[in-house]
Amino acid sequence: MRVPKQLETKAVHSGEPHINGAVATPIFQSAMFETFGESNYHNVRYIRLNNTPNHLALQEKLAALENAEAALVTASGMAAITTTLLSILSSGDHLLVQEELYGGTHDFLTKDFPALGLTCDFIDGNDPNSWESKLKPRTKALYVETFANPLMVVPDLKAVVQFARAHKLVTMIDNTFASPVNYRPPEHGFDLSLHSCTKYLNGHSDLVAGAVIGRADLVQKVKMKLDHLGGTLDPHTAYLLQRGIKTLHLRVKYQNESALKIAKFLESHSAIAKVNYPGLENHPQHQRARELFNGCSGMLSFFLKGGLSAAEALLKNVTLPIIAPSLGGVETLLTRPATTSHAGLSPEDRKKMGISDGLIRMSVGIESTDEIIEDLDRALKA
Ligand code: PLP
């Protein structure tokens, strides 16, 4: 069989074992499988050990999408993030981490790290000169997000890889917002790329899943930790995710284009104070985004001139976008990060991160762009 080369072909054909000629990989709803003399516990075929035919097929597809050596699927994005951190770091170790972060990750680092004997320091992802002073004798890894949620900050990703190599740190990047369509971290020297597959990879807002993609030795290390911690994806969800991924490129390319048009519309609207979208020329990291990414995703955020009350009125008056957390699905979603993704942070921490109560985050779906713009325009006038 020919090996697919392009992402579009891989999304459809990679990791499709055609078991018994089945064009779609069926659901293997069996907790355990007959043994064939496996001598290693981690190779015993059992759902929790992440090695059923559904896991293996999906992992092959995910690794192919990012041109990586290996991949592992997990029960959620947070299972991918926490299990990876706990695999790479041991008690006494230190992590450097970008200051703008998904709220769940921020919570884990600030609330759970101390009891585990782990420490971290936050860095400005756009000021590489300030990183060295934060290094400690036991700094082991550097963690960033491709587009930091929700302000769409793009850290200096090239400098992250160079700095980590110079100081022998493992690099981890949460690539959820970009998806493999817009950025493939292993191609740029990142050791591990993490995903909430709940978002773009699945794309249909009907499951929760995660992935760790990258260097085979590190992915194997994470698999062994996951085997113990038990954050395993079940075969039915693996099947749904595999199905969702087949249309990833169609959805994300459309969402890239639609989000840019919506960002331009909002930017020119008299009720809007500021739009955060790296595809806009006035975004501070626009040039970097153009150089590194195939597109800037369907995610954007904006501040209204009328502050919190105007934001609440907008959310009340739109009729097509759904007011709900999460992102990356086929339907356009609006949310106020202060009450959803970043609600776990203290008001001071949110302020430091630039997340005011009136900030609105938008996940652009695959509806007609014109119809979404019409609806926003009407709701902003109302
Ligand atoms: N990373 C990012 C950037 C996210 O936005 C989220 C969830 O919103 C996660 C990780 C966590 O993923 P999950 O909800 O699948 O655990």
Q: How far apart are CA 35 and CA 299, in angstroms?
A: 46
Q: Where are the alpha helices (DSSP H) in the chain?
A: 7-13, 53-65, 77-88, 103-107, 157-166, 179-182, 216-229, 235-245, 248-267, 286-292, 307-317, 347-353, 369-381
CA of 342 to the centre of ligand 1 (A): 11
- Condensed to tens digits (0 to 9), the pLDDT of residues 220-249 reads 999 999 999 999 999 999 999 999 999 999
| CB of 205 sitting under 6 A from ligand 1 | no
pLDDT score, position 305: 95
pLDDT score, position 211: 99
pLDDT score, position 128: 98
335: helix, coil or strand?
Answer: strand
Average pLDDT value over all residues in the chain: 96
**Is 183 one of the catalytic residues?**
no
Res. 343: pLDDT tops 90: no
The answer to whether the beta carbons of residues 325 and 335 sit under 8 Å apart is yes
pLDDT score, position 376: 98
153: helix, coil or strand?
Answer: strand
User: What's the token pair of residue 222?
Assistant: 């994470």
Pairing between β-strand 139-145 and β-strand 170-174 as defined by DSSP bridges: parallel
- Condensed to tens digits (0 to 9), the pLDDT of residues 291-303 reads 999 999 999 999 9
Q: How far apart are CA 300 and CA 262, in angstroms?
A: 9
Q: Average pLDDT for residues 164-176, to the nearest whole number?
A: 98
pLDDT score, position 177: 97
Res. 344: pLDDT tops 90: no
Q: At 258, is the pLDDT very low, low, confident or very high (cuts 50, 70, 90)?
A: very high
| CB of 340 sitting under 6 A from ligand 1 | no
Sign of CA dihedral 139, 83, 10, 18: positive
Res. 130: pLDDT tops 80: yes
pLDDT score, position 342: 80
| pTM exceeds 0.95 for this model | yes
Q: At 40, is the pLDDT very low, low, confident or very high (cuts 50, 70, 90)?
A: very high
| CB of 175 sitting under 6 A from ligand 1 | no
| CB of 50 sitting under 6 A from ligand 1 | no
Res. 152: pLDDT tops 80: yes
pLDDT score, position 382: 86
User: What's the token pair of residue 16?
Assistant: 């499709």
The one catalytic residue among 199, 251, 336, 361: 199
Res. 341: pLDDT tops 90: no
Query: Residue 96: phi, psi to the nearest 5?
Result: -100, 135
Q: Average pLDDT for residues 151-169, to the nearest whole number?
A: 97
* Non-local CB neighbours of 188 within 8 Å, separated by 6+ positions: 157, 158, 161, 292
Q: How far apart are CA 90 and CA 85, in angstroms?
A: 9
Q: Average pLDDT for residues 146-158, to the nearest whole number?
A: 94
The residue ranking higher by pLDDT, 149 or 122, is: 122
Q: At 304, is the pLDDT very low, low, confident or very high (cuts 50, 70, 90)?
A: very high
CA of 38 to the centre of ligand 1 (A): 35
| CB of 78 sitting under 6 A from ligand 1 | yes
Res. 345: pLDDT tops 90: no
CA of 196 to the centre of ligand 1 (A): 5
CA of 78 to the centre of ligand 1 (A): 6
The one catalytic residue among 46, 93, 102, 200: 102
- Which amino acid is located at 203 in the chain? G
The one catalytic residue among 174, 191, 227, 234: 174
